[in-house]
Structure 1
Amino acid sequence: MSRKVLIAGILVFIFAAIGFAVNYDIQKVIIVPVPESELQVSIWLDKDPGAVYKKGEEVKVYFKVNKDAYVAIYDIMPDGSIQLIFPNRYDASNYLKAGKVYSLPTEKASKVYRLIVSGDPGKEIFQIVASTSPLTFIEDMVKRFSKEIFPKSRFKAEKFVEELVRPFISETEYAVNSTFFYVDRSPDIGTLKVSTYPSNASIYIDGSYFGKTPLEIRVEEGLHVVSVYKPGYKMNTVKVNVYSGRTTNVSLKLIPDRKTYSLSLSTVPADARVYLDGTYVGNSPITLSVSKGLHSLKIEKEGYQTYIETIQISGNTSKRIVLNELARKYSLTIKSSPSGASLYIDGAYVGQTPITLNLESGRHKILLRAEGYEDYTDTIYLYSNKTVNVSLVAKNAYLTVKSDPRDASVYIDGVYVGQTPLSLTLLSGKHSVKIIREGYLTVEKEIVLSAGEKSVLNVTLQPEGARVYVETNPTGARIFVDGYDLGYSNKWLTLEPGYHEILLVKEGYHFVYLIKYFERRVYTLSFDLYPIE
């Protein structure tokens, strides 16, 4: 897509092929799809694969994923260039929803651009990659949307695929597919006949699906990569030269994939009959050795609905299966402490506890709701008469506040609630507590109460006045204030506002004496004591 023109306000992007011969190793460039992967991606045109588009003809591209995924489509040109066609400047969102068919241009961009064929006769290959993870291998091209509508990779095809695409898909869930078309005329054609033992294997030619073996198909002359795959067998890939006007026969023997994984099955109730791929293999619980790939699973037990599933085995697998009973009912009794809680079964209100109900066997969701208590939810499996006892958890929490001295005012979250000592009922969670008493320092604390918790907050109030921290080097000096022995440094003192005499004495050191006026605030007094020589 090397050229663009403007027609009636619509940007027309031109596919310009430059010959049928390709300038790259097709086996290194084409990534063959993994048929049994959980993520699958499809790409197709408004004509069959290998169709001819005339110059000036519009090409419509369609694609789809089977689960939500990120998608990129790039054009592999005959000269080995790589050009990103999706996402692009006008269709930048590449996260697709499962099952939806997308087109290029998308509906929102259909009035902005179209894809038109031009240039010399040649072959164009579109390869699509999908992943459940963001596609990091296109980041460099995406950054250039402001300069290029369809950016080209800085690498040629082989390096782009080998160094960017393959390392990415080796570490994530991915899917890949491709399609191709010819510009202006068909190439010289030969016949390729592919057979396999055993037959009915899927055939991919240059990454595109063509059908089941045995198959005879007309393809362009030249080198092709042929891959065949059958569940339970290893994929077989070969290079084949096809010559114009001649028939090339390819016969491939498929090798069984001997790798097996463990499949552990348990059922509720147990002792159910287990069938794998139509063959009875034993009763549950059971552990089986199973080959990689898709398998049909059937579980039967008298009085229960038959369980059927198609499972994908790609590693050791464990499954717990709950069987649904056939139209049987059992009594369910629900009791709660306290009683009178509203009961909901499977989302519907059925009454208040204690209560006894007749319910169909199987799984049920219960919800108990009572004012002042936490909601109680549970999933129960009812296969016999059952009684459920529930102790509801109170939403409220309980707090007792004490102070020394008592009769201090208490504020919770800024609201006055009484004087100490007092007991409070509060909602669980974080609360601020403030304790005030005249002549004493105010105490403020943050507390967190759990539902149903009983907590006690004990506070010793400190008298108001100057808060003085006396520290000496060395420590252990005796502190006298106004002639009173108040202990040894380092320590906090509480003094009445005003002038005070402070004397510091330590044996073997010069004493320190000072008179200082103290206000109602915090002080730090630091002194270095000097030895007596």
Structure 2
Amino acid sequence: MRKLLWMLLGLGTALAQQISPQGIIVNPVPTDLKVRVWVDKDPGKRGDALYRIGEPIYIYVNVNQDAYVYLFNINADGKIDPILPNPYERDNFLRAGETRRFPPEGARYRYTITGPEGEDRVLAVASRRPLSLGEILDVERGEVRVRGAEGLARALSIVVEPLPDRDWVTDVARYYVGRLPAPPPATATLNVNSRPQGAEVYLDGRLQGRTPLTLGVNPGRHEVELRLAGYQPYRVTVNPRPGERVQVYAQLVPEPRQGTLSVASTPPGAEVYVDGALRGRTPLSLRLPEGRYRLELRLEGYEPYRAEVRVPSGETVRVSARLVPLPRRGTLQLDSRPQGAEVYLDGRFLGRTPLREEVEAGRHELRLLAPGYAEYRAQVEVRPRESLRLFVELVPVRAVLELYLNVEARVFLDGEEVGVARGGYLRLEAPLGEHELTLVAKGYRTLVQTVRLSGNQVLRLTLSPL
């Protein structure tokens, strides 16, 4: 790839036998994560797209699940160029079903074919979690620090090694520059080896021999399986092209020594967790490698059941748990300002604030009542064996008092002057409840009267002359 408005694509054939899903890097474990990469002239991925030098090219990629996607172009001369991420496209997280084009519409860069002639390939790597490519890729400069398909394969193999087997997958798109190559041979070669050697090799279900083994196969998809007594079967799918040589090397894994864990509960239907992982509901029987395990049973409304169990090889360990119901009461602690408010729970009088009461667990309707204050109403939830603490600030309720007097007078409420009844009239607001009303006018006797406000009220009062 050569730089032009950030970078331009270069092409070649020198590494044609090394950049396939089988030859460069392949996940031998079947996975439901899929990635598909193609170029604009070959949406059907026939591998015969032809570009001339100076032509633009667009690369497309799609995933069937949420994944982080990395794209590399491997040139014929062994040079490797990054496509994603790059200095202008750092977001390499694709949602399930999403298809992206590079460069996208309105991008500040473009890809243009510059040569040399031959076959190039675009490698796509999709992973459920981000990969640490700092040793391979310099995003700021748009450079890959390794050269050639083999170098890239070795570097990527190290990066994906810590990942769970089913968390990554690859795909390759092929295209040509200048002219199409001569028709390849009609067959492909399959080299199969294993460690330890001597494993039976099955091709599409038929025994072919033992490792190490070289087979001539028809191009296309084939299922390869290796079997050796005392080891887990090794399976991989290959899809060689005509004339391609595909290497399959299997590091066989010894079969684990296993036992059976049988779990039952009263009542049944409890979730079964083994070492923190949900494995099903009771009753449940599990085949496990021999060893010690943390067992936990969970069922709503019951206390968790926990135990440590040892599963010997070739034996069955039975666990029968009688689950204990959770307590169904909790504590309600309630206070208010002002204190002394009446407390009602689901319409039942509990007492006055402050109070502490044991109540049934669940949701309840809470009401607080106090003279001169607005009613407080709320939904509360009390959890089993837990304490719910609430503090309520009650809101005073006010009323309107209208005064009609025979003279202009100063008006005092509870000892505090609240206004002057000019022309013998005054309108004021006061909290509900009992108040002392005092009227003072020059030349008239002072009038003191108790007023109880339970709502808006009108008072007509007459002051007597001295």
**Given the two structures, how large is their TM-score scaled by the length of structure 1?**
0.40
Higher RCO (CA < 8 A, seq sep 6+): 2
**Given the two structures, how large is their TM-score scaled by the length of structure 2?**
0.45
Greater share of strand residues, 1 or 2? 1
